[in-house]
Structure formats: C-alpha cells, structure tokens
C-alpha cells in the first residue's frame, strides 16, 4: 500500500503512521533500526528502496528516504508512506524536500526516527566527502557509501580514506567478502610460507580492486602491485607469490573464479558479483566499527602501480586528526513500547 501526502508535515506523517498501525495492524515493535537513505536521483531512489525492502526481511527497519526537489520551488515537503507488500518487512517513508527545505534533511528526519533504535545512513549514489560531517551522517552510528557510484571512484576512495571516522564503510568493500574469504582459506592450507609479493589486477576505476590491494598490502607486509586492465569489469585476478609457487585466484568473466596453488587440485569457485541488497544485508548485521576496512584504507598508500609509481591514494591517511563522535538525537514525536 502506498499513501501519498503532498505538501505535508512531519507531524502529519507521524499521525498517519499511527493511524495505519491502528487500522491495518502494521506495527513498529519489531523494527531493529532506522535506515536513512539519501538519494536525489529517482532511478537510484527506487533501486535503493527495493534493496532496503529485500534487506528488511533479515533486518526489519523503518526506512526514511530523503530526496531533494527543486531548490527554486516554494518550501514544502511531499511525503509518501509505503507499507505491506510495497515495503517488505519495513515501513518506508519518502520525503521530497523543496526550496530552502532541501538543505534541511536532518530536521525533517529527526521527528520520524524510531526511539532508542540504532540509525544507519546510506548514500546509494554520490555521497559526501566526509560522511561523518554530513548532517544526516551525524545522526548515524553507521554510515554507508558506495565509491563505485561516484563519477571518480578512485578519487572518492582516496577522499574517504582521509576523512575516515569509526562507523564509516563502503559497499565497494563489502563486495570483496568472497574474495577475501577464498584467499584466506587458500593461505590456511600447507605449505605455510611467507608471501613475498602480490599482484592484483582489475578494472582501472574499480574501487573494490583498489581496496583489495590495500588490504593485502596492510596484512601481508609484502610488496603489492596494482595492475590496471580494460579486458573485464571489476576484479580480474589476485596472484600471491611464495617460495613453493604462486597462489592465483582469477575471475575473467565476472561469475566463476578459478583457484590454483601448488600441491592442490585446481578449483572452480562461484564468485559472481554481489548485488546491492546482498551487500546491504551484510552491512546491517554489524553496527560496530569495521577495523579491517579501516586497515584496508590505511594500506592504500602502500600499493605500487604497475608502472612502479605510487597511485593517488598514496597521500591518503585512514587516520583523521580529530573527529567528533557522531551524535544521536533523542526522538520524542512518536511513542513506542518496543
């Protein structure tokens, strides 16, 4: 069910939510968090809502979508409430802010937050340079960006490394989970030898490839070379050199990977690219700082490019000089017994 409330207020939206709960049986008691989605592009907005609906089956949430309308228009809020089949296991509130209100997303969101529930802010498209300093990012314990959705993915990754604050994460990092699991599993098998060098090959503007190289550089304590390729999308291969022979994981078609290593049979592995809903589900499972992601950002400056020079990320630092702890406002406009 979709209910449109043009030229509305947050108070009217709250009142309508209570009415829906009383008349239709939808409840907020089982909501485990509030997910704030910031998306100005209509296509990305609908894709993000669909991803949140899929994720809500594991993480029932109140989803608040903030979209900016024309800044030259008269100030108003066009609201929309989605429940039931149009909202998965969540309730979705879409706010489109016009005129001066377009810059007041935080003020519009605060009255709609669930009391005493964690807050996650997600930018499915272009995100702020410093998520923790953004007004909507300041509300959240966890801030999710996606460098792959930026116009300059590698440059945005470098910027995020400089502005990193505990609670920041990136879907470009989440897409690496299967790659990291396979590489760690391979190194858990004998012979237990030190890696002397590593080569990571992938698309030139793939932030996931860059983060994988940074992660290896940080934890292997060995030279890591980043090779840029145009033959395929995303990550293509990882090669870990050691005395007895190389461990190599390749995925030329974006779907099936091949793992080869000395003394072991060649294995074919399902290594297809992960969808946004799948990545979002994984990120919502944890609200604590991701120290491994922070370490991968810190490792970016250790990567050697294929031509022997340092990439732009060499100047990045994952350690901010000082960062204020994101604050969580108290919400009083709606009562709950959860």
Contacts (Cβ under 8 Å, ≥6 apart) of 181:
none
Question: pLDDT tier at 27 (50, 70, 90 boundaries)?
Answer: low
Q: List C-alpha distances in Å: 204 to 183, 198, 286.
A: 22, 17, 30
Radius of gyration, CA atoms only, the chain: 22
**DSSP conformation letters of 289-338:** --HHHHHHHHGGGGEEETTSSPPGGGG--SS-S--PPPP-----SS----
Higher pLDDT, 23 or 314: 23
Starting at the edge strand found earlier in the chain, the sheet holding 142-145 runs: 2-8, 76-82, 91-98, 61-68, 33-38, 119-122, 142-145, 168-170
pLDDT (tens digit per residue) in 286-306: 899 999 999 999 999 999 764
Residues 85 and 81: their CA atoms lie apart, in Å, by: 12
**pLDDT exceeds cutoff 70 at 210:** yes
**pLDDT exceeds cutoff 90 at 79:** yes
Q: List C-alpha distances in Å: 11 to 14, 23, 112.
A: 5, 18, 9
Lowest-pLDDT range, 78-87, 228-237, 247-256?
A: 78-87
Lowest-pLDDT range, 55-64, 283-292, 322-331?
A: 322-331
Residues 28 and 90: their CA atoms lie apart, in Å, by: 9
The confidence score (pLDDT) of residue 3 equals: 92
**pLDDT exceeds cutoff 90 at 66:** yes
The ranges assigned to domains in the chain are 2-170, 177-273+306-313
Lowest-pLDDT range, 19-33, 179-193, 248-262, 284-298?
A: 19-33
Higher pLDDT, 63 or 1: 63
**Can you give the pTM of this predicted structure?**
0.86
**pLDDT exceeds cutoff 80 at 314:** no
CA dihedral 280, 281, 287, 290 (to 10 degrees): -70
The confidence score (pLDDT) of residue 305 equals: 61
Lowest-pLDDT range, 14-23, 142-151, 195-204?
A: 14-23
Residue 145 tokens, joined: 């960006």
**pLDDT exceeds cutoff 80 at 41:** no
The confidence score (pLDDT) of residue 324 equals: 44
Q: Over the chain, what is the mean pLDDT?
A: 87
SS3 of 227-267: the string is EEECCCCCEEEEEEECCCCCEEEECCCCCEEEEEECCEEEE
Residues 301 and 166: their CA atoms lie apart, in Å, by: 19
DSSP 189: S
Question: pLDDT tier at 336 (50, 70, 90 boundaries)?
Answer: very low
At 247, phi and psi to the nearest 5? -100, 125
Question: pLDDT tier at 30 (50, 70, 90 boundaries)?
Answer: low
Q: List C-alpha distances in Å: 9 to 71, 75, 112, 140.
A: 18, 11, 11, 23
Residue 303 tokens, joined: 């990567």
Residues 211 and 153: their CA atoms lie apart, in Å, by: 11
Q: Which of 140, 185, 177 is nearest to 281 (CA)?
A: 177
């Amino acid at each position: 069910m979709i209910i449109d409330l043009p030229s509305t207020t947050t108070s009217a939206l709250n009142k309508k939510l209570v009415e829906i709960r009383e008349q239709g049986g939808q409840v907020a008691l089982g909501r485990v968090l509030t997910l704030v989605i910031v998306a100005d592009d209509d296509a990305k907005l609908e894709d993000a809502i669909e991803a949140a609906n899929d994720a809500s089956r594991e993480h029932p949430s109140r989803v608040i979508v903030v979209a900016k309308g024309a800044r030259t228009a008269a100030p108003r809020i066009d609201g929309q409430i989605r429940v039931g089949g149009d909202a998965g296991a969540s309730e979705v509130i879409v706010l489109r802010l016009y005129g001066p209100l377009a810059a007041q997303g935080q003020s519009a969101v605060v009255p709609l937050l669930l009391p005493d529930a964690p807050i996650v802010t997600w930018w499915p498209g272009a995100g702020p340079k410093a998520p923790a300093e953004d007004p909507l990012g300041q509300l959240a314990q966890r801030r999710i960006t996606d460098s792959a959705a930026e116009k300059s993915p590698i440059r945005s990754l470098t910027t995020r490394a400089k502005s990193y604050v505990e609670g920041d994460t990136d879907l470009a990092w989440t897409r690496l989970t299967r790659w990291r699991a396979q590489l760690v599993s391979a190194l858990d098998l004998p012979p237990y030898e030190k890696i002397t060098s590593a080569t990571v090959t992938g698309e030139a503007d793939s932030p996931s490839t860059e983060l994988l190289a940074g992660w290896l550089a940080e934890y292997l304590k060995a030279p890591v070379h980043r090779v840029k390729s145009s033959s395929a999308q995303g990550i293509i291969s990882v090669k870990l050199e050691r005395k007895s022979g190389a461990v190599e994981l390749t995925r030329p078609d974006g779907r099936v990977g091949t793992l080869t290593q000395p003394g072991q049979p060649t294995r074919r592995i399902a290594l297809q690219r992960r969808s946004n809903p799948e990545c979002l589900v994984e990120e919502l499972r944890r609200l604590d700082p991701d120290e491994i992601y922070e370490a991968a950002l810190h490792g970016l400056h250790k990567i050697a490019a294929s031509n022997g020079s340092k990439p732009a990320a060499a100047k990045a630092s994952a350690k901010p000089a000082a960062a204020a702890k994101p604050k969580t406002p108290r919400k009083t406009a709606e009562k709950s017994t959860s």
